[in-house]
A and B are shown apart, each in its own frame.
Chain A
Amino acid sequence: MAEKIRVLLAKPPLDLHSRGILVVATALRDAGMEVIYLEASPKVGLREIVQAAMQEDVDIIGMSIMSGSPGIILPKMLKIRDEIGLKHIPVVAGGIFPEEEIEELKAAGVAGIFRPGTPIESIVETVRELAASRQQS
C-alpha cells in the first residue's frame, strides 16, 4: 500500500483570502491525506514555501492565489523550486486565473490549475494522481 500522501498547501505572502484553501485542506484531509498548511504571511515568501516543501518531504505543493498575480508569482516559484532541486515535486494552483494565462502557466510547468467551479472531488483526484506518480518515480 502506498504511503499516506503528503500535501503542502500555501498562499503567496500577502494573499489573504483563505476561505477556498481551507475548504480544500479539509477535503484533502478527509480523503486521507496529510495536509500541511502555511498561512499567508509577509514572513513566508515563495522561497520559504519551497523550503517547507523540502523539509516536510511532501509529494505535492498546492498554491492558492486569490489576490496576487499568478503570472508573476507561479513562474517565480517554479524557478525557485527547480533551483533548489525539487523539480520532481509537482505544483498545482487554484484561484481566479485569467483565461488567457492558463496555457502559459501550464507551459511554464504548473501541473494543474483549478478555477472557480471546479468540484472539490476533482481537486482531490488530481492531487491523488499527481502525488501517486511522484511516489512511484
Chain B
Amino acid sequence: MANKNNEDGLREMTQEWEREYESSLRKRPERKERFENLSWIRVKPLYTPGDIEGLDYERDIGFPGKYPYTRGVYSTMYRVRPWTVRQVIGYGGGVESSQRFKFMEEHGQTGFSIVFDHPTNMGLDSDEEVAEGFVGREGTALDTIQDMRDLLKGVDMEKGGINIIAAHPAILAMVVAVAQERCIDLINLSGTLQNYPTIGHTMGSCSDIYGGMSFFSKRFCIDIVEYCTRNLPRWNSVSVAVRNTREAGCTAVQEIAFGIAPALAVIKGCVERGIGVDEVAPRISFFLNSHRDFFEEIAKFRAMRRLWARVLREELGTKDPRSWQMRFHCQTSGDAMTYQQPLVNIIRGTLYGLAAVLGGCQSLHINSADEGLSIPIEETAKLSLRTHQVILEESGAADMIDPLAGSYYVEWLTNKLEDEARSILNKINSMGDWWDPKVRQWVSREIADASYRFQREVENGERVIIGVNKYVEEIKYPFPIWREDKEFTEKQLARLNKVKEERDVMRWEEAASNLRDACKNGVNILPPTIDAVKAYMTIGEITKIYMENS
C-alpha cells in the first residue's frame, strides 16, 4: 500500500510540475519548436521514475560482466583495463603506414588498426586502370605479402590485437603468413577482420556494391569463420562495421538493428555449415559509431548490448556467456566532423569519445580535427591520443563503471532504443535475412531516406551544425592540411613489379592451381590462400582466381 501511495503521490507531483512548466511557456516559449534526438525520438523536458515504471534492476540492468550486460561486458571494466587506444592508420603503403604507427605508439597508442585503400578493399592490384587516382590515398595500398611485412614491421602481433578494416580472405592470409614467419603460435594471434555481408564496402556508402561482382560471398565469409574457429581461437572472425552504415546516414536506432541483423545472418550461415552458435558467437565483435547526441549514444551502446544478449540467449538459446557479450570497438563519427572551422572538431571528438567511454567500449578511435578535410597530419592525430588521455587520466569519467545507470532519462532512452531496434529486427526477419539482396536493398533505401531527411533539416536550419549553418565564418585553416605524395603510385607500382619479377614462377603456378581446385571443390579457401600469398601471389591475382572459379 505504501508503494501505491508513493506512486500516486509521484504522479500528482509530476502533473503539478507539468502544469507549472506549461504555464511558464505562455510567458516565454521553449527555445526550439521540437526537441528530437537523432533518431527523431521526441525528448521531454524532464524524466522521472514514472518514465521507467516496470524497469527491474536485476532483470534489465544488472551488474557489469553479468547478463544482460547493460552495464558492460566485463566485471572490472576500465578500473583494471582501460579501453584500447586504437586510432586507425592507413595511407601510402606498408612502409609509410608503419612509420605513422610508430609515431602514434610513441605518444600513447595501445592497439593497431589499419584501413586499406579502395583498390585493396575491392581486391584489386595498384596497377589496375580503375585504381588510378586511388592508390594509397584513403588507406594503405597492399598488393603482396611484402607490403604486409612492411606494415607489421615493429608491431607486436601477440599484444593489443590487430584490427583489420577489410574483409578480403587474402588480407587475413597475409597476417597469418607473417605470423608464421615470425614463429608466432597462431593460438596467440589476436585481431579482428571485418568479415560480414556489409551494406557498401566502406564507410559512408549506403549502396550494396557487391552485387555478385566482388570477391565477397557467403561461402568465403563462413570459410573465414570456420578457419578461425579451428586455428585462430583469439581472432575475431566477424566484425560488424555498422559504424560505417551510420556514417552513410542511418539513425542510432537503425545502427543497433543494422548491426545485429548481419551478425545473426553470419551465425545462421555458420549453423548451416555445422558450426555451433556457441563456437561462432563469442568471436563476433562490433564496430560502432559515436555521434552527435551525447545521451542517445550512451543509451545506444547500453541498449545494443542488452538486445544482443537477449537475442542470443533467449531466442537462439546459446549457453556460453561469451556468446551474450557484445564487445565493440568504436570510432567517433566522421560525418559529424566539419570541413568548416576544423578546430571545433576537437571539441566534438571529446564529446563523442566521452560518450563511447560512458557507453563501455572495448577500444576506441577518436577522429581528428582535420577529419572533414583529409587524413590527419601527425599533430592532429596526436591530439586525438591526448583526448583519450584526458578522458581516462584527468576527467575521472572512467573511474567507476557505467555511471549513468539509474538516470531516469538514460534508462528510459535505453528501453526506447532497444524496443525500436527490436521492431526493425522483426521487420527484417519477416522479409528474410541479411544474405538476401532484397533485404539489403530495403536497408539501403532506409539509410538514404534517413540521410536525406537529416540533410534537409540542416539545410532549413532545424538542425544546427556549428560553423556550417550557424556561426559561419570564412574558411581558414589553423594547421597545414595533409597532402598526398604525388609520386606514391609510382613507388607502389615499383614495389609490386619488383615482387612480380623476383618471385618463383613454378611456386606461383602450383599455388594458383591449388587455389583454383579449392575454389571449385568447395573446400575452405583460407589454407590455399595462405600458400598463395606465401608464393607472392598478388591480391588482384587471388581475387581473379576466386571470381573465375566459384
Which A residues are within 8 Å of any B CB, using their own CB? Answer: 12-19, 22-23, 26, 39-43, 45, 66-69, 72-73, 76, 96, 98, 115-117, 119-121
Of B158-166, B403-411, B433-441, B451-459, the stretch lying at the interface with chain A is B451-459
Contact of B213 among A14, A23, A42, A45 (CB under 8 A): A42
Q: Nearest chain A CB to B336's CB is how many angstroms away?
A: 12
B420 part of interface (Cβ distance < 8 Å):
no
Quick check: B249 and A19 within 8 Å, CB to CB? Answer: yes
Number of A-B contacts (CB under 8 A): 100
Question: How many angstroms between the C-alpha atoms of A66 and B203 in the bound complex?
Answer: 11
Quick check: B134 and A22 within 8 Å, CB to CB? Answer: no
With A19-B451, A116-B340 in contact, is A72–B132 under 8 Å at CB?
yes
Quick check: B339 and A14 within 8 Å, CB to CB? Answer: no
With A17-B203, A68-B134 in contact, is A39–B209 under 8 Å at CB?
yes
Quick check: A67 and B138 within 8 Å, CB to CB? Answer: yes
B225 part of interface (Cβ distance < 8 Å):
no
Interface residues of B in 352-400 (CB under 8 A from A): 372-374
| Residues in chain A near residue B274, CB distance under 8 A | none
Question: How many angstroms between the C-alpha atoms of A18 and B200 in the bound complex?
Answer: 9
Quick check: B130 and A19 within 8 Å, CB to CB? Answer: no
Quick check: B468 and A18 within 8 Å, CB to CB? Answer: no
Q: Nearest chain B CB to A79's CB is how many angstroms away?
A: 13
| Residues in chain A near residue B205, CB distance under 8 A | 16-19, 40
Quick check: A16 and B209 within 8 Å, CB to CB? Answer: yes
Of B118-126, B170-178, B184-192, the stretch lying at the interface with chain A is B118-126
Quick check: A14 and B131 within 8 Å, CB to CB? Answer: yes
| Residues in chain B near residue A119, CB distance under 8 A | 459
| Residues in chain A near residue B373, CB distance under 8 A | 96
**Interface SS majority for chain A:** loop
| Residues in chain B near residue A13, CB distance under 8 A | 130
**Nearest CB to that of B455 among chain A residues?**
A23
| Residues in chain A near residue B475, CB distance under 8 A | 117
**Nearest CB to that of B334 among chain A residues?**
A17
Quick check: A67 and B134 within 8 Å, CB to CB? Answer: yes
Quick one: which of B134, B204, B335, B481 has the most chain A CB within 10 A?
B134
Quick check: B339 and A117 within 8 Å, CB to CB? Answer: yes
Quick check: A22 and B452 within 8 Å, CB to CB? Answer: yes
Quick check: A22 and B118 within 8 Å, CB to CB? Answer: no
Question: How many angstroms between the C-alpha atoms of A16 and B120 in the bound complex?
Answer: 13
B230 part of interface (Cβ distance < 8 Å):
no
Contact of A120 among B133, B137, B455 (CB under 8 A): B455
**Nearest CB to that of B335 among chain A residues?**
A19
**Nearest CB to that of B131 among chain A residues?**
A14
Quick check: A17 and B448 within 8 Å, CB to CB? Answer: no
Quick check: B213 and A43 within 8 Å, CB to CB? Answer: yes
Quick check: B452 and A23 within 8 Å, CB to CB? Answer: yes
Quick check: B203 and A68 within 8 Å, CB to CB? Answer: no
Question: How many angstroms between the C-alpha atoms of A96 and B334 in the bound complex?
Answer: 14
Quick check: A19 and B247 within 8 Å, CB to CB? Answer: yes
- 19 A–B contacts, CB within 8 A, in A order: A14-B131, A16-B201, A16-B205, A17-B202, A18-B205, A19-B248, A22-B451, A41-B213, A42-B130, A43-B213, A66-B204, A67-B137, A96-B373, A98-B481, A98-B483, A115-B339, A116-B372, A117-B475, A120-B455
| Residues in chain B near residue A41, CB distance under 8 A | 209, 211, 213
Quick check: B452 and A26 within 8 Å, CB to CB? Answer: yes
| Residues in chain A near residue B372, CB distance under 8 A | 96, 116
B207 part of interface (Cβ distance < 8 Å):
yes
- Enumerate the 9 nearest inter-chain pairs by beta-carbon distance, A residue then B residue, closest first: A116-B339, A17-B204, A13-B130, A72-B133, A14-B118, A69-B133, A68-B133, A16-B205, A67-B138
Quick check: B137 and A68 within 8 Å, CB to CB? Answer: yes
Question: How many angstroms between the C-alpha atoms of A39 and B119 in the bound complex?
Answer: 16
